[in-house]
Amino acid sequence: MVFRKLPGVSASGMGLRLSQKFMFLLFLSGLVTLCFGALFFLPDSVRLKRIFLSKTETQPVTVGSGSENDAREHLKKPRDQEHPRGMTSAKGETSTKLKTLSRKPSVSHEATEERLAGGKAQEDFTLPRSKAESASERATASDRGATSDTFSYAKFKGCLLKAPLGRDNGKPSDPRTDERREKVKEMMKFAWDNYKRYAWGKNELRPVTRNGHIGNMFGGLRGASIIDSLDTLYIMGLMEEYNDAKEWVQTSLDLNSNGEASLFEVNIRYVGGLLSAYYLTGEEVFKSKVLELGEKLLPAFNTPTGIPRGVINLGSGTSWSWGWASAGSSILAEFGTLHLEFVHLTELSRNSIYTEKVMNIRKLLNKIEKPHGLYPNFLSPVSGNWVQHHVSIGGLGDSFYEYLIKSYLMSDKTDDDAKKMYYGALEAIEANLVQKSPGGLTYMAEWRGGILDHKMGHLACFSGGMIGIGADDGAPEKRQHYLDLAAEITHTCHESYTRSATKLGPEAFRFDGGGEATATRLNDRYYILRPEVIESYMYMWRLTHDPKYREWGWEAVEALEQHCRVESGFSGIRDVYTMTVSHDNMQQSFFLSETLKYLYLLFSDDDLLPLEDWVFNTEAHPLPIVRKTCLQDKATQDKTVSI
């Protein structure tokens, strides 16, 4: 072959000899081989793999930030009151037609009248949607594998002080108590069987019309009643039903939804439910599913302050604040009710990002000023400042305080920061909110910028149990004081039940206008199968073994059977003060997860899910106490044995 020599071009340029070309190509091919070898085989090449292997893995979520006009468009009142935990739905008329969800129907929306100059109701940031190596993949490899830095289910079980289900599944020796426990178990089977018959795979059962309900607060996720029921079915020994639920999770739980979900509700129900199912059974499917879901929640934290927004699209990662929340704020009870689950996501995945996210929330709350030591319900995720000074131990605030003391207990009492925050908050609550009625009832009022609203919500009735379980760890001289306060609040909540015609408590009750522990407003008279009063009965029974708590629990069972049981399940009622029952046609998933579970535990021996080993998240899903020292010791022992 003859190569033409162009004028002015030397042999070292276009006129290379054949042997020179061969050597050049050989060198080039070697360089390419070396680069790709490093890309695929060296341990630190994950980021490079992301670049070359999949464009979809690194596509960021590109979104615009909302303006003040966007905020006003989002600040719409909800249209209905059909969602669990009193959530309501509404559509904000934005350019993208995003749905917005509100938190509690029992809370008035005067908050929407206040605006924060420059507040943003919707502002999102860029975050890659997945990683080349997901947390679920790492965790699955860890149980096959083999380093001491991976989670071991066997080591975890070895660190429990007692068997989770007790000596005889918690069966009480007293025949009368055992009979009552069996009745609660029958109620669970009845509720479950009808859900399976008429609403399988949907989020909840509509027992009057015998069909399923999906709702719009889970972002396209399905099967909320299934996930919420897993641990209840297991501890009750309903193994056929549990296996049906497990099979549905294996075959039908699709986490690749593209809808708008409540970060709070998905966390406490789905993440909490899957975590507890894994810790109780060791079934790998629950761990892989929960770690996959956990990753999908992380983009909600991508804000200037790290305070997550309340609503997230699980598919795109887009997040925004509730349309009705003042000036695009985040809600205390929502961003403050993530700690327990996220710590366990870190435990299972060995990825510290989950713990870092919730600890960042703590740091901000410790840094900003609290009015009279109180934590208002609305916080801007942009500025990190309180938006308005409304304080409630009920709706919008409740489980934030619960998670402080439970974080301390779940840490094997090593989380001193959580302990300090909890007792500091409790002192401020006692000084500003705890009131005594003329009739001698102790209750927790709400605080609106220094003005007390003498109302207590059903949701606030969890606080009797909360104060009770924290009594042993405050100042020693205050132990009896806290137990007395817990008993007084639980008594007040029981009174809200006994003073109604149905012996079920209203959504909210007041202590003004001459009435005490009764709902004076028509829109507070409903009961939607809520668990909070029964939750306090269970804790107070375990702490004191006063038989009145079991009697009060049995009164609730009889009332539920008489007024809420229908032909095809259990339904809430619209007015607890009339014997002419009007059903709301909804069997809430938390009825299966919380109400019936707490009743079952109330009539069981204390060694069924003993409090020495377990804490319950706010959806009553049991999560184990994290004993770091024990796990580390066992890891060392295992390593020594293997050597």
Catalytic residue IDs: 507
Look up residue 501 and give its DSSP letter: S
Closest CA to 336 of 361, 356, 303: 361
C-alpha span between 553 and 530 (Å, rounded) = 13
| CA–CA separation, 517 and 259 (whole Å) | 40
Q: For 551-607, what is the HEC assignment?
A: HHHHHHHHHHHHHHEECCEECCECCCCCCCCCECCCECHHHHHHHHHHHHHHCCCCC
Closest CA to 122 of 75, 79, 77: 75
Q: Nearest Cα to 136, choosing from 348, 440, 355?
A: 348
Of 263, 200, 199, 192, which is closest to residue 229 (Cα–Cα)? 192
Residue 343 C-beta-side C-alpha neighbours within 13 Å? 22
Helix ranges restricted to H, 206-338: 224-235, 239-252, 263-265, 272-281, 284-297, 332-335
Q: Name the token pair of 446.
A: 């709400």
Q: Are 443 and 437 in contact (CB under 8 A)?
A: yes
User: For residues 592 and 232, what is the distance between their CA atoms, to the nearest angstrom?
Assistant: 7
CA dist 433 and 26 (Å) reads: 80
The CA distance from 333 to 95, in Å, is 29
- Cβ atoms of residues 384 and 305 within 8 Å: yes
In Å, what is the CA distance from 456 to each residue of 398, 426, 595? 11, 17, 20
State the pairing for strand pair 614-616/622-624. antiparallel
The structure tokens 């600040």 sit at 75
Determine the Cα–Cα distance for residues 295 and 546; give it in Å rounded to an integer.
44
The alpha helices in 42-152, defined as continuous H runs, are: 46-53, 68-74, 135-144
SS3 509: strand
CA dist 385 and 632 (Å) reads 40
* Contact status, residue 415 vs residue 628, Cβ threshold 8 Å: no
CA distance 460 to 397: 9
Instruction: Please tell me the distance from the alpha carbon of residue 271 to that of residue 293, in angstroms, as a whole number.
Output: 7
3-class secondary-structure state, position 451: strand
